[in-house]
Amino acid sequence: MNGRVRGIELGRLFAVARKELTQLRRDTRSLVLAFVVPVQMLLLFGYAISWDVRNIALAVNDADHTADSRALVDAFRASGYFDVSTAVERPAVGGDLLRRGAARAVLVIPRRFSEDLVAARPAAVQLLVDGADANTATIVLGYAQAAVASWSSARAPNAAALVALLPATRVWYNETLETRNMIVPGLISSIMMIIGSMLCALTVAREWERGTMEQLVATPIDRREVILGKLIPYLGIGFIDVTMIVVVGATVFHVPFRGNVFLLGAASFIFLAGTCALGMWIGAISRRQIVAVQLNMLVAYLPGFLLSGASLDLSPMPRVLQLLSYAVPARYFVTLLKGIMLKGVGVAVLWPELVALAVFFTVAVSLSVHALQKRLSP
């Protein structure tokens, strides 16, 4: 294939891709990094991470509008864990807030709530919880039950006079509160970060160390052909790993997949291409493998692991770290993964994250092409 697309010679591009694939097959360390390290991460996920949930965004649908219903809402506010700042007129509006991530839970107080209390009948309230993050949802349920118990005790301190208040709770998107339902989407992001950023950074830095990169850039080949040619094998490996994790998650661990598989593929392609280009930029500016590893940990892997929402809830973090997380591309990809796999939402909800990943891809490719100068290193 010797055609040209926007000044790129396809024959030379695929020649670079074949060369990269041949080197990758011969590099056992890179293959281990691509397929063994993610399994180790899966085993360690449940042991090294803890959550401390604060400032839980709680929306309230109060259809009773009585002193008792307002007192119950005040009990949630006084607990110190809930941020009661949104009132909705219908439960469906609260469900939309959960779908968009604008609320963590929705408290639904039905009509005749106060009448049931006065008549000593069971008074039911409903709590809708976003279960995409299983551990956080479990903590939210515990805090909610404690707030209800505190309100019930304050209303009737005499145990013999306690009114039967039966809170009805329902967890959305992760109904069984299985931790693996949260781990699998985060693991996809971590795997793609390892393959895309770390492997590409090591590959480019190793070529600079061996002098083969100098020989390559001395040829008539275009810098864009070098970058895109090196991207192709890692994109293929990334899609194999993503497919494997999704299939195993759905068949073995019964992780729900409610969204569009093509949307997941498109989002994965954009993110993986961006992380590969970022890794090539790191390798090009470092030109030493040890420096590339250290720089990759600081620039790509640690921010992507800690500030993406894949393993740690961002809401309890200091405000400065929460703001910094908006500059981490993995944050948007994790939101896409949870939205597609667990919530089943589409482009109408997730388009801001797709735009953010497209911007990341454009910037990363531009940086890598600029760093790969068509000259010998000084």
Residues 200 and 163 in one domain: no
**How confident is residue 106, by pLDDT bands cut at 50, 70 and 90?**
very high
Burial state string for 235-268 with b = 16 or more CB within 10 A and e = fewer than 16: bebbeebbeebbeebeeeeebbbebeeebbeebb
The verdict on residue 219 lying in a domain is yes
The verdict on residue 79 lying in a domain is yes
Residues 161 and 18 in one domain: no
Q: Tell me the mean pLDDT in the region 343-367.
A: 91
C-alpha pair distances (Å), 239 with each of 34, 112, 192, 196, 243: 12, 54, 9, 11, 6
Residue 164 confidence (pLDDT): 53
- Dihedral sign for Cα 348, 352, 354, 359, please: positive
The verdict on residue 352 lying in a domain is yes
- R_g of the chain computed on alpha carbons: 26
Q: Cα(110)–Cα(105) distance, rounded to whole angstroms?
A: 16
How many residues are given for the chain?
378
Q: Cα(56)–Cα(319) distance, rounded to whole angstroms?
A: 15
Closest CA to 210 of 145, 288, 125: 288
The verdict on residue 278 lying in a domain is yes
Closest CA to 225 of 357, 359, 374, 362: 374
Residues 18 and 72 in one domain: no
Hey, what are 231's tokens? Answer: 């991207």
pLDDT tens for each residue of 280-301? 889 888 888 888 888 888 888 8
Residues 193 and 326 in one domain: yes
Q: Which of 137, 154, 172 is the last residue of a domain?
A: 172
The verdict on residue 308 lying in a domain is yes
The verdict on residue 49 lying in a domain is no
Q: Cα(334)–Cα(66) distance, rounded to whole angstroms?
A: 41
pLDDT tens for each residue of 73-105? 998 998 888 998 888 888 888 888 888 888 899
**How confident is residue 378, by pLDDT bands cut at 50, 70 and 90?**
very low
Give every strand in the sheet of 165-172, ordered side by side: 82-87, 56-62, 105-109, 123-130, 165-172
Average pLDDT along the chain = 80
Phi, psi of 66 (to 5 degrees): -125, 175
Q: Cα(197)–Cα(34) distance, rounded to whole angstroms?
A: 11
Residue 158 confidence (pLDDT): 46
Residue 162, pLDDT > 70, answer: no
**How confident is residue 16, by pLDDT bands cut at 50, 70 and 90?**
confident
Domain coverage including residue 260: 4-35+179-371
For β-strands 56-62 and 82-87, DSSP reports them as parallel
Residues 153 and 187 in one domain: no
The verdict on residue 147 lying in a domain is yes
3-state secondary structure of 158: coil
Under DSSP, the state recorded for 176 is T
The angle subtended at Cα 229 by Cα 224 and Cα 230, nearest 5°, is 105
Closest CA to 266 of 288, 247, 239: 239
Residues 206 and 348 in one domain: yes
- Dihedral sign for Cα 376, 19, 30, 242, please: positive
Residue 351, pLDDT > 90, answer: yes
Residues 12 and 108 in one domain: no
Q: Which of 144, 172, 200 is the last residue of a domain?
A: 172
The verdict on residue 378 lying in a domain is no
Query: By mean pLDDT, which of 4-13, 32-41, 140-149, 326-335 is the weakest?
Result: 4-13
Residue 171 confidence (pLDDT): 72
Residues 10 and 149 in one domain: no
Residues 334 and 231 in one domain: yes
Residues 297 and 351 in one domain: yes
Residues 151 and 103 in one domain: yes
- CATH number of the domain at 93, please: 3.40.1710.10
Domain count, the chain: 2
Q: Tell me the mean pLDDT in the region 166-170.
A: 64
Q: Which of 140, 172, 204 is the last residue of a domain?
A: 172
Is the full-model pTM beyond 0.75? no
Q: Cα(284)–Cα(372) distance, rounded to whole angstroms?
A: 6
For β-strands 123-130 and 105-109, DSSP reports them as antiparallel
Residues 203 and 146 in one domain: no
